[in-house]
A and B are shown apart, each in its own frame.
Chain A
Amino acid sequence: MDTLSKSAPACDPGQRLTADVVVIGAGIIGASCAFALARAGLAVHLVERDAPARGTSGACEGNLVLWDRPTSADLHLAMWSHQRWAELAVELPAQTGIDIEYDRKGSLMIVRDEGDVAAAQVKCAWLAAEGVPLEWLDQAGVHAAEPDLAPDIALAVHFPADAQIEPRLATAALVSAARGLGARIHNHEAVLSIESSEAATMVQTVRHRITASWVVVAAGVWTPDVLRMLGVDLQVSARKGQIAIVAGAPIKVHHKVMEASYMTTVANDETELQVAAVVEATRAGSILMGSSRLLTHPNDRRVDLEVVNRIVAKGVSLFPGLASGKVVRSYAGVRPLSPDHSPIIGPLPMAPRVVLATGHEGGGVMMGAATGDLVACLIAGRAAPVPFEPYLPSRFFSH
């Protein structure tokens, strides 16, 4: 059990601290960065204005799904991350006592509309060439895999490697593991200002002045607010998604079951509301229904009941047996969307000691484990299993 935070001496307000790296934001990305950096032997301070996983990471499904990745760069990072999560699912509970509820349940992409068939074929050919395991299921195969699916569903693709984790517990476990490796965790400590020179950085929080060699900004949809402290303007949009939780429906859902149109809603630039069905069961026994995408402002966590209606209608069309259940809760989160839909990982060209790790949209959990490792490789000057270039922030700052 981790009691380091209790036994550590209390800091005076305004105390000066030094570190190798300050990580700003304790969502899944910041927690993963802090863990990977601490594991690389660096002195890390993780600064969070609220508490771990209280933002987007606390309001998502914990998808470890490969097939919705829109670009090769995303897919390569996701495949690396996929492997890392399988390892972390063993390592983190051993180190922290926290079970992250890793479940390699596989996913089903339901191809229902004629129009989706061609797109699904193109996508699957690409995924297969990239080495993603998949199999096409005909009507009998679909219903053998998910007996409670609507009888008219006749085509689906099964991705046996896809998995799920509990994102709140995973974040808590990464934070706890980082702390076990000596990282200092500063919860409820907002950042007031950041300074950056060629040699060092300084982060002024409400309680501390931390001098460090590097700053990692993992502030999700709030990244633009943090970068503004450095006079840097970078667009990270907030794309809201809602989830409805159903209890009491007499059905079983074994996989993550998603409409093929889900990948379109991930990849496009639509500003109006988009809804694509995602249905899955949780370990606690309830059923989660998603998904929606709507551009909004970063602090809009309001559940719109009219959107719940749309999500629920889509879900029932996949699993008619859901109709007799009850929606017991709903919640909303805001996905950090970069201008080109790919994550932004790497140093700012105008402040190279400030490293960004943001913009993962709905793939933050999926790509989170590898993002931490990639940031650690960048800072430690080591090679990584994927090239750095596709993720670098410099792509948004052309001269």
Chain B
Amino acid sequence: MPDLLIVGAGPAGLSATNKAGQLGLDCVVVDENTSAGGQYYRQPPVAWANDRPSDRLLRGRAKIERATAAATFRLGCAVYGIDAEHRIWLDQDGSVERVEPACVLLATGAYDRPVAFPGWTLPGVMSAGSAQALIKSQQVRPGARAVVAGSGPFLYVVALELLHAGVHVIEVIEAATVRSALPFLPDSMRYPARLAELVGYALPLLRAGVRIRRGAMISSAGGDQRLEEVRVRPVRSGANDPPLERVIDADLLCVGYGFAASTELAQLAGCTLAWDRGLQQNVPAYDEWQATSADGVFVAGEASGLGGAPVAECEGELAAIGVARHLGRISDAGAQRMAEPIRSRLRRLRRFASLLPRLFPAPPELAELARPETIVCRCQNVTFERALEAVTHAGATTLNEVKTTTRCGMGWCQGRICGGLLPSLLAQRAGTGFDPASGFTARNPVRPVQVSSLAAIGRVEPSDHGGPGPDHP
């Protein structure tokens, strides 16, 4: 069994792999995607020649090549379960197995936090991250006329990629304004390179004639069968006036109001969670070695708080050093020596990262958008009205209680979508009493897994088989 199993081959996982390789750790990397890189270094399929690869793509490619030499990569492989002894269940194309690594690093990243507004389930409405994945890995143009709405630098990255893919980007609807960002600008000026990076995303958009509308947000999406029009509104409106809406004809709406981290694996591994201001959710708490409260379980990158790829990479390296120290492969003093320069870089990066949610906050007004008939759980077709009634009439105070009477979170996505949008929505709309930090209890399996694969193992009696069995110690 390996010294270290790394879940997620994005920036954090790749940096951890490379550091673990240098430290001589026997390391296995698993990722659900069929290519390494994560969302940030997402690589196009090899078959598609790219005549002008970006700097980022090339950096990512180099990192992946180094990492591939340093560890066993299992791509297209899902972790569908983990337990408190950090036994891990893997599903690779329907072939399931249990591994018991000495340590595990959760580098599972974050996904776009879903927002429920009228029309958000129409075809043509998608998260900014999904649009990016379609363009980068599938080379699919997700629409012809696009509106990109949200808050933060990721919007501009995606808008630019849409533009390069030949999509007509009509407008970028940015919730933040220069005025709302003003109090944080002096601090931001201390990071000229990072600010230049942000401007670097916006300039080509402006040059291409894309309008960037600040202080505005999505109001609703409409269309018969699929998206035809997007309604936008100012974020703030007069106290009693309904906000003035503007209609934009579009067949693609990409939405990106911040991120959510998947914490199921951490919960199931027994990690203590703590509130994260940037993500507005509970995430695994960790120490100076990226170690969680669960013995042998480490965490790095967006899975434990927003920071961006550079932060994730430092955390990945620290985690690898932490694992080597934990396993006694390097001395504490040696580990400290190695960690010190990474930590000082990380401190500076984290200071900038902590500014981002303040420069680009997700507007609380988003919670005004859901109407009684708006679907909040797509899998089980639960309306906002029913979820709200579970709180206001039946007295539910947590997401699990809402689930008990509404079926929210009992569907195919296992609560990843409604679990990301409901806590803040219910806390704001239901008044006092609902806990915005509440989430669904994580349960194995955390990913759907083929019945035939499980049945093949379950049919074998434990007594006449040496592998994993029901009461295998």
For the complex formed, measure the closest distance between the CB of B286 and the CB atoms of chain A, giving whole angstroms: 23
Per the bound structure, the CA–CA distance linking A303 and B454 in Å amounts to 14
Does A49 lie at the interface of the complex (its beta carbon under 8 Å from any beta carbon of B)? no
B380 to chain A: closest residue by CB: A284
Encode A300-328 as 1/0 by CB contact (under 8 A) with B.
00111111111111111100001111111
Per the bound structure, the CA–CA distance linking A304 and B85 in Å amounts to 12
Of the candidates A3, A169, A303, A309, which one forms a contact with B458 in the assembled complex, judged by CB atoms under 8 Å apart? A309
Residues on the A chain within 8 Å of B400, using CB: 54
Of the candidates B398, B405, B443, B451, which one forms a contact with A312 in the assembled complex, judged by CB atoms under 8 Å apart? B451
**Could you count the A-B residue pairs with CB atoms below 8 Å apart for me: how many are there?**
128
Q: A305-B81, A307-B470, A327-B454 are in contact. Are A1 and B389 (CB under 8 A)?
A: yes
Q: Which of A305, A324, A327 has the most CB of B within 10 A?
A: A305
Pairwise interchain contact B445-A305, C-beta atoms closer than 8 A: yes
Pairwise interchain contact A316-B451, C-beta atoms closer than 8 A: yes
Does B134 lie at the interface of the complex (its beta carbon under 8 Å from any beta carbon of A)? no
Residues on the B chain within 8 Å of A54, using CB: 400-401, 404
A313 to chain B: closest residue by CB: B458
Does A255 lie at the interface of the complex (its beta carbon under 8 Å from any beta carbon of B)? no
Encode B140-167 as 1/0 by CB contact (under 8 A) with A.
0000000000000000000000000000
Does B337 lie at the interface of the complex (its beta carbon under 8 Å from any beta carbon of A)? no
For the complex formed, measure the closest distance between the CB of A112 and the CB atoms of chain B, giving whole angstroms: 15
Q: Which of B392, B405, B448 has the most CB of A within 10 A?
A: B405
Pairwise interchain contact B397-A3, C-beta atoms closer than 8 A: no
Does B247 lie at the interface of the complex (its beta carbon under 8 Å from any beta carbon of A)? no
Encode B443-464 as 1/0 by CB contact (under 8 A) with A.
1110011111011111100000
Residues on the B chain within 8 Å of A247, using CB: 412, 448
Chain A contact surface mostly:
mixed
Pairwise interchain contact A306-B444, C-beta atoms closer than 8 A: no
A4 to chain B: closest residue by CB: B393
Residues on the A chain within 8 Å of B76, using CB: none
Pairwise interchain contact A308-B451, C-beta atoms closer than 8 A: no
Residues on the A chain within 8 Å of B12, using CB: none
Pairwise interchain contact A324-B81, C-beta atoms closer than 8 A: no
Encode B87-100 as 1/0 by CB contact (under 8 A) with A.
00100000000100
Does B469 lie at the interface of the complex (its beta carbon under 8 Å from any beta carbon of A)? yes
Residues on the B chain within 8 Å of A58, using CB: 404
Residues on the A chain within 8 Å of B396, using CB: 51
Residues on the B chain within 8 Å of A1, using CB: 389, 393
Per the bound structure, the CA–CA distance linking A324 and B456 in Å amounts to 12
Per the bound structure, the CA–CA distance linking A326 and B472 in Å amounts to 24
Q: What is the number of residues of chain A that contact chain B, defined by CB distance less than 8 Å? A: 51
Per the bound structure, the CA–CA distance linking A29 and B443 in Å amounts to 26
Residues on the A chain within 8 Å of B380, using CB: 284
Pairwise interchain contact A51-B448, C-beta atoms closer than 8 A: no
Encode B414-449 as 1/0 by CB contact (under 8 A) with A.
100000000000000000000000000001110011
Q: A54-B400, A309-B454, A313-B455 are in contact. Are A326 and B448 (CB under 8 A)?
A: yes
Does B197 lie at the interface of the complex (its beta carbon under 8 Å from any beta carbon of A)? no
Of the candidates B410, B444, B456, which one forms a contact with A305 in the assembled complex, judged by CB atoms under 8 Å apart? B444
Does B407 lie at the interface of the complex (its beta carbon under 8 Å from any beta carbon of A)? yes
Per the bound structure, the CA–CA distance linking A54 and B81 in Å amounts to 23
Pairwise interchain contact B444-A303, C-beta atoms closer than 8 A: yes
Does A256 lie at the interface of the complex (its beta carbon under 8 Å from any beta carbon of B)? no
Residues on the A chain within 8 Å of B407, using CB: 284
Per the bound structure, the CA–CA distance linking A306 and B450 in Å amounts to 14
Of the candidates B81, B398, B405, B458, which one forms a contact with A172 in the assembled complex, judged by CB atoms under 8 Å apart? B405
Q: A172-B405, A306-B472, A323-B452 are in contact. Are A51 and B397 (CB under 8 A)?
A: yes
A57 to chain B: closest residue by CB: B404
Does A188 lie at the interface of the complex (its beta carbon under 8 Å from any beta carbon of B)? yes
Does A120 lie at the interface of the complex (its beta carbon under 8 Å from any beta carbon of B)? no
Pairwise interchain contact B445-A168, C-beta atoms closer than 8 A: no
Residues on the A chain within 8 Å of B404, using CB: 51-54, 58, 168, 172
B442 to chain A: closest residue by CB: A303
Per the bound structure, the CA–CA distance linking A303 and B267 in Å amounts to 13
Q: A176-B394, A273-B470 are in contact. Are A327 and B458 (CB under 8 A)?
A: no
Known: A313-B456, A330-B445. 13 other contacts (CB 8 A): A5-B393, A284-B380, A284-B407, A304-B83, A308-B445, A312-B454, A313-B457, A313-B459, A322-B451, A322-B455, A323-B452, A327-B450, A329-B414
Q: Closest 8 interchain pairs by CB?
A: A309-B458, A313-B458, A323-B452, A326-B448, A313-B459, A306-B470, A316-B455, A313-B455
Enumerate 22 A-B pairs (CB-CB under 8 Å) in ascending A order: A51-B398, A51-B401, A168-B404, A168-B405, A172-B404, A176-B394, A247-B412, A284-B380, A305-B81, A306-B468, A306-B470, A309-B455, A310-B470, A311-B458, A312-B455, A313-B457, A313-B459, A324-B450, A327-B451, A328-B414, A329-B414, A330-B443
